[in-house]
DNA sequence: CAATGTCCTG
DNA sequence: CAGGACATTG
């Protein structure tokens, strides 16, 4: 009904200026029709195309390639357009605070998992895969500034409609135009964008399919257009975060750690948000340009104009029909698929994409330039009388500004996009490349693939030859499902903070929790010699730090992917490791700051009990820089040599215990060549063995006493075989997965130990407080050589295979 | 003093 | 398993 009128209303106020500027051309149809025509054709096509893919991908206002880029970005960021989260509404008030609040409870965050993605820089990308979870992740903020808000800034096209109407007195044309616009708008989900109810009515009249669209695009949720609202507080939020963190710190290093990670994430989010804003601006500008184009078409050539409309109609119609189906697919795999989806874009790789975008931009710029003169002329001829006359100067400026803005924005966008794409080329899942895959068998630490979504992307961007192989070994220490922070007692996951339990292995596994970036310094190289020789394959230390993700060469991500795609046998435990690694490394780092041993006592504040807290705090302070680095790095570096003992290392240590109960620190260094040793690490390793021994001796004593109680009289009756209870207990502890063949020698030693205990107890030596020492002395001499294979960082894989 | 190791506790 | 206390050794 009055849709039009309302339109005009809007338009006149807001866009009057722009409109007036543009209008001129239309009328006279002046200007070199030939030139503009060819150009316009091209442009038109581009526009059309852009629209079409947009639709296919997701609803977005008639924007162009840029919008696509934006979309991609957003999608990746996990800021799926319509966020469904009820809180959106209130956001205004809470601002970042709100965010913080959410994150405040790390706990629940952790449960949801996924923080991982957010965490790492690449997260943006990886996230693509995991849309849903992402949202809550640290990216609430980004979330806020999602499309809806984005749109609002554009000021929607009210203005557009306006001038069109004015210019085109023809009712028919006007109606058509409005329709088209509405449709486009509707498709693009324009909630926030004012889609006057009236217009909708109109649409209903004419096209039923529009309804679908409407449905698709639920009405705006009363968004105030304050795109920037949430941003301001970032800093504050971080500080508050800090405080919070500090307060909590004491509880667990984990928490502090987490917090740090979180901070990092937040920063990234912030960056992302800013980028988004820029994109928004760009979109706005693009929209304006588009409008101009339309006008030109209309004015210059009716037939074309009609065609255009028709085309649009067709496209739209198709889209509406397809939309349902597409949406499904789109929903499933958004990550890299966005780009292709359309025939034309199908093999679009980022490069093409960018090129295209650039081309478009140029064209637009040219067009704008051409327009300028026209405008000028028109305005002059018109004189001051017309409404648009006043706009003259402004129009010029606008054009200039627009051009500049577009250029700069484009540049930024391009960079951003490139960065994003480039970022985490994480290894893809093994299944994905059967052909490529290299013998999966040996890969150093666990490798994991992560989200499949990336396949396409990765493939395109970089032909990854990588192969990631699932390795079954990990099961070793298996951390059972371990969903939550709960640690398996037996398994040692030291201070490790489990990054995120989230791994509910979604089918899609987006999860990519591995997150993070890693920046570590990497470690020189292990001693490949022995290893490679024995292993016969690629150097273990081949992990490169994340820096060259783009490279095509294969690299393995040591971190197991939580995403479970483990084909291998042991799906049970594998992945968890990656998470822990990060933490481990961090922990190590922290620890390194102080002397783990006795010294840290002094460092710690006052209470002995609070040592942890003090330590954490001081560490944070002193090692702040390091931590930051770490956070960036951690995700990828996980297995990368360097600092920190991973769960795999623990596993390995346990297996080594079958050979040596009292390894010297030197020996440990030899066998853990992929670890950067420092006091802490050394101490930790020693401590591990100490703990192993403790357990071992406890078992021995227990069984010895049990034997005595059972009436055993002579040591002869004591034996340790693979099926004895004692062995079972030990094996359970050191070789839980039972995928390692315990050396016979160990059985002998165990038997000897048991007998020693037995004899000592029988002899009543156990009254002596240090009666065990004698036994220890005996046992320590029974250490046997540890197989060379243990020196290999990859040893686990090897060993486990057996 | 530093490195190791044990014992105990969480 | 990690921390911490404590003992031992060189």
What pLDDT digit, counting tens, does each position of A615-667 carry? 333 333 333 333 333 333 333 333 456 678 888 889 889 999 999 999 998 88
Q: Which residue is nearest to nucleotide B5 (CA to C1')?
A: A690
Q: Which nucleotide is nearest to A594 (CA to C1')?
A: C3
CA distance A597 to A601: 8
pLDDT of residue A268: 62
Q: Which residue has the higher pLDDT, A742 or A46?
A: A742
Q: Which residue is nearest to nucleotide C6 (CA to C1')?
A: A598
Asked if pLDDT for residue A187 goes beyond 80, the answer is no
Q: Reduced to 3 states, what is the DSSP secondary structure of residue A252?
A: coil
Q: Which nucleotide is nearest to A679 (CA to C1')?
A: B3
The b-or-e profile of A399-410 (16+ CB within 10 A means b, else e) is: beebbebbeebb
Q: Which nucleotide is nearest to A598 (CA to C1')?
A: C4
The model's confidence at residue A407, banded by pLDDT at 50, 70 and 90, is low
Q: Which residue is nearest to nucleotide C4 (CA to C1')?
A: A598
List, for residues A213-234, the tens digit of each pLDDT value: 333 333 333 333 333 333 333 3
Asked if pLDDT for residue A113 goes beyond 50, the answer is no
Residue A591 CA to nucleotide B10 C1', Å? 19
Q: Which nucleotide is nearest to A698 (CA to C1')?
A: B7
Residue A680 CA to nucleotide B1 C1', Å? 17
The model's confidence at residue A510, banded by pLDDT at 50, 70 and 90, is very low
pLDDT of residue A288: 77
Contact of A283 with A70, CB cutoff 8 Å: yes
Residue A577 CA to nucleotide B10 C1', Å? 23
CA distance A604 to A613: 8
CATH superfamily of domain region A647-799: Homeo-prospero domain (1.10.10.500)
Asked if pLDDT for residue A272 goes beyond 60, the answer is yes
Q: Which nucleotide is nearest to A682 (CA to C1')?
A: B3
pLDDT of residue A275: 65
Q: Which nucleotide is nearest to A488 (CA to C1')?
A: C1
CA-based max dimension of chain A? 120
What's the start-to-end Cα distance of chain A, in Å?
78
The model's confidence at residue A756, banded by pLDDT at 50, 70 and 90, is confident
Q: Which residue is nearest to nucleotide B4 (CA to C1')?
A: A686
- Residue owning tokens 């554009």: A154
Residue A578 CA to nucleotide C4 C1', Å? 29
Structural domain boundaries of chain A? 647-799
Sign of torsion over alpha carbons A596, A599, A605, A608: positive
Q: What does DSSP assign to residue A724?
A: S
Q: Is A488 exposed, middle or buried (0-12, 13-18, 19+ CB in 10 A)?
A: middle
Mean pLDDT of A131-151: 32
Residue A694 CA to nucleotide C1 C1', Å? 11
The model's confidence at residue A383, banded by pLDDT at 50, 70 and 90, is very low
Number of residues written out for chain A: 802
Q: Which residue is nearest to nucleotide C1 (CA to C1')?
A: A492
The model's confidence at residue A363, banded by pLDDT at 50, 70 and 90, is low
Residue A477 CA to nucleotide B8 C1', Å? 25
Across A197-211, A465-479, A485-499, A645-659, which has the greatest mean pLDDT?
A645-659
pLDDT of residue A798: 72
Residue A408 CA to nucleotide C3 C1', Å? 56
Across A354-363, A364-373, A647-656, which has the greatest mean pLDDT?
A647-656
- SS (HEC) of A605-654: CCCCCCHHHHHHHHHHHHCHHHHHHHHHHHHHHCCCCCCCCCHHHHHHHH
pLDDT of residue A131: 31
Residue A159 CA to nucleotide C7 C1', Å? 85
pLDDT of residue A286: 61
Residue A583 CA to nucleotide B3 C1', Å? 27
pLDDT of residue A686: 93
Strand C: positions under 7 A of a protein C-beta atom: 1-6
Asked if pLDDT for residue A43 goes beyond 80, the answer is no
Residue A690 CA to nucleotide B4 C1', Å? 10
Mean pLDDT of A542-563: 27
Sign of torsion over alpha carbons A383, A385, A391, A393: positive
CA distance A462 to A428: 11
Mean pLDDT of A191-202: 35
Across A162-176, A207-221, A710-724, which has the greatest mean pLDDT?
A710-724
Neighbours of A707 (CB within 10 A): 21
Q: Which has the minimum average pLDDT: A412-416, A511-515, A624-628? A: A511-515
Mean pLDDT of A354-373: 48
Cα–Cα nearest to A421, from A124, A114, A741: A124
Strand B: positions under 7 A of a protein C-beta atom: 2-8
pLDDT of residue A536: 26
Asked if pLDDT for residue A696 goes beyond 90, the answer is yes
Asked if pLDDT for residue A285 goes beyond 90, the answer is no
pLDDT of residue A366: 55
List, for residues A293-323, the tens digit of each pLDDT value: 556 544 444 433 343 333 333 333 333 333 3
Q: Which residue is nearest to nucleotide C7 (CA to C1')?
A: A770
Rounded to the nearest 10 degrees, the angle between the axes of helix A679-709 and helix A647-657 is 50
Residue-averaged pLDDT of chain A = 47
pLDDT of residue A380: 35
Mean pLDDT of A375-395: 39
Asked if pLDDT for residue A280 goes beyond 60, the answer is yes
Q: What percent of chain A has pLDDT over 90?
A: 4
The model's confidence at residue A577, banded by pLDDT at 50, 70 and 90, is very low
Return the half-sphere exposure (C-beta side, CA atoms, 13 A cut-off) of residue A692.
Answer: 28
Residue A598 CA to nucleotide B1 C1', Å? 12
Residue A654 CA to nucleotide C10 C1', Å? 29
Residue A770 CA to nucleotide C10 C1', Å? 21
Detail the protein residues whose CB sits closer than 7 A to any atom belonging to strand C.
A 489-495, 587, 591, 596, 598, 600-601, 604, 608, 611-612, 615, 645, 650, 653-654, 684, 687-688, 691-692, 695, 733
Detail the protein residues whose CB sits closer than 7 A to any atom belonging to strand B.
A 597-599, 662, 664-665, 679, 682-683, 686-687, 689-690, 693-694, 697, 770, 772-773, 776
Asked if pLDDT for residue A55 goes beyond 70, the answer is no
Mean pLDDT of A726-739: 89
Residue A797 CA to nucleotide B7 C1', Å? 35
pLDDT of residue A658: 92
Residue A268 CA to nucleotide C1 C1', Å? 34
Asked if pLDDT for residue A519 goes beyond 50, the answer is no
Q: Which residue is nearest to nucleotide C8 (CA to C1')?
A: A773
Q: Which residue is nearest to nucleotide B7 (CA to C1')?
A: A694
Q: Which two tokens stand for residue A117?
A: 């993605």
Across A13-22, A179-188, A249-258, A446-455, which has the greatest mean pLDDT?
A179-188
H/E segment holding residue A687:
helix A679-709
Q: In whole angstroms, how large is the CA radius of gyration of chain A?
A: 33
Q: Is A480 exposed, middle or buried (0-12, 13-18, 19+ CB in 10 A)?
A: middle
CA distances from A120 to A123, A350, A523, A587 (A): 5, 22, 21, 18
Residue A259 CA to nucleotide B4 C1', Å? 35
CA distance A281 to A286: 8
């Amino acid at each position: 009904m009055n849709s039009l009128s309302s339109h005009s209303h809007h338009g006149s106020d807001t866009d009057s200026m722009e409109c007036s500027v543009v209008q001129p051309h239309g009328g006279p149809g002046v200007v070199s029709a030939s030139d503009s025509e060819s150009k316009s054709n091209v442009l038109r096509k581009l526009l059309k195309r852009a629209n079409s893919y947009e639709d296919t991908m997701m609803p977005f206002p008639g924007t162009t390639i840029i919008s696509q880029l934006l979309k991609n970005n957003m999608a990746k960021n996990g800021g799926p357009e319509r966020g469904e989260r009820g809180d959106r509404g209130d956001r205004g008030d809470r601002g970042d605070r709100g965010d913080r609040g959410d994150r405040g409870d790390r706990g629940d965050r952790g449960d949801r998992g996924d923080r991982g993605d957010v965490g790492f820089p690449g997260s943006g990308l990886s996230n693509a895969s995991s849309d849903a979870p992402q949202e809550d992740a640290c990216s609430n903020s980004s979330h806020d500034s999602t499309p809806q808000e984005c749109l609002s800034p554009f000021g929607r096209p009210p203005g557009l409609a306006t001038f069109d109407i004015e210019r085109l007195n023809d009712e028919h044309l006007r109606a058509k135009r409005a329709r088209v616009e509405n449709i486009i708008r509707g498709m693009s989900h324009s909630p926030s964008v004012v889609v006057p109810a009236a217009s909708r009515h109109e649409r209903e009249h004419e096209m039923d399919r529009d309804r679908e669209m409407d449905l698709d695009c639920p009405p705006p949720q009363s968004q105030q257009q304050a795109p920037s609202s949430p941003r301001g507080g970032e800093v504050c939020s971080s500080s508050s975060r800090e405080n919070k963190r500090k307060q909590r710190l004491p509880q667990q290093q984990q928490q502090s750690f987490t917090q740090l990670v979180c901070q990092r994430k937040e920063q990234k989010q912030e960056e992302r948000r800013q980028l988004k804003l820029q994109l928004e601006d760009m979109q706005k500008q693009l929209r304006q340009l588009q409008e101009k184009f339309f006008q030109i078409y209309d004015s210059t050539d009716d037939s074309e104009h009609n065609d255009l409309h028709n085309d649009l109609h067709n496209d739209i119609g198709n889209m509406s029909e397809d939309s349902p189906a597409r949406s499904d697919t789109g929903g499933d795999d958004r990550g890299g698929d966005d780009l292709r989806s359309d025939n034309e874009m199908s093999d679009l790789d980022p490069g093409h994409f960018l090129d295209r975008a650039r081309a478009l931009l140029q064209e637009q710029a040219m067009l704008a330039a051409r327009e300028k003169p026209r405008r000028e002329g028109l305005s002059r001829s018109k004189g001051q009388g017309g409404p648009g006359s006043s706009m003259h100067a402004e129009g010029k400026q606008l054009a200039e500004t627009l051009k500049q803005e577009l250029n700069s924005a484009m540049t930024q966008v391009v960079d951003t996009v490139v960065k994003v794409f480039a970022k985490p080329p994480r290894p893809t899942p093994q299944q994905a490349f059967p052909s490529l895959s290299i013998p999966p068998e040996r890969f150093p630490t666990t490798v994991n693939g992560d989200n499949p979504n990336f396949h396409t992307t990765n493939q395109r961007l970089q032909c990854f030859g990588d192969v990631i192989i699932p390795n079954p070994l990990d099961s070793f220490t298996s951390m059972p499902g371990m969903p939550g922070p709960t640690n398996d007692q037996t398994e040692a996951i030291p201070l490790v903070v489990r990054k995120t339990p989230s791994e509910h292995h979604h089918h899609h596994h987006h999860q990519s929790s591995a997150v993070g970036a890693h920046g570590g310094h990497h470690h020189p190289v292990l001693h490949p010699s022995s290893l490679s020789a024995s292993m016969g394959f690629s150097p273990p230390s081949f992990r490169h730090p994340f820096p060259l993700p783009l490279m095509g060469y294969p690299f393995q991500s040591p971190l197991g992917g939580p995403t479970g795609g483990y084909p291998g046998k042991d799906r049970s435990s594998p992945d968890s490791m990656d998470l822990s690694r990060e933490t481990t490394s961090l922990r190590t780092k922290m620890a390194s700051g102080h002397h783990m041993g006795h010294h840290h006592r002094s460092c710690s504040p006052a209470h002995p009990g609070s040592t942890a807290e003090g330590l954490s705090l001081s560490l944070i302070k002193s090692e702040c820089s390091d931590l930051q680095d770490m956070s960036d790095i951690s995700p990828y570096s996980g297995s990368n040599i360097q600092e920190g003992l991973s769960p795999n290392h623990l596993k390995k240590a346990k297996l080594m215990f079958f050979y040596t109960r009292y390894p010297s620190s030197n020996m440990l260094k030899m066998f853990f060549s992929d670890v950067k040793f420092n006091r802490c690490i050394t101490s930790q390793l020693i401590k591990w063995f100490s703990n192993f021994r403790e357990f071992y001796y406890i078992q021995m004593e227990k069984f010895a006493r049990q034997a005595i109680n059972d009436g055993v009289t002579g040591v002869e009756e004591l034996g340790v075989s693979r099926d004895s209870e004692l062995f079972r207990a030990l094996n359970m502890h050191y070789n839980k997965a039972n995928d390692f063949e315990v050396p016979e020698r160990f059985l002998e030693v165990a038997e000897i130990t048991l007998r020693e205990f037995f004899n000592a107890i029988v002899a009543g030596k156990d009254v002596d407080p240090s009666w065990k020492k004698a036994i220890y002395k005996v046992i320590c001499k029974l250490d046997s050589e540890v197989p060379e294979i243990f020196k290999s960082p990859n040893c686990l894989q090897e060993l486990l295979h057996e």
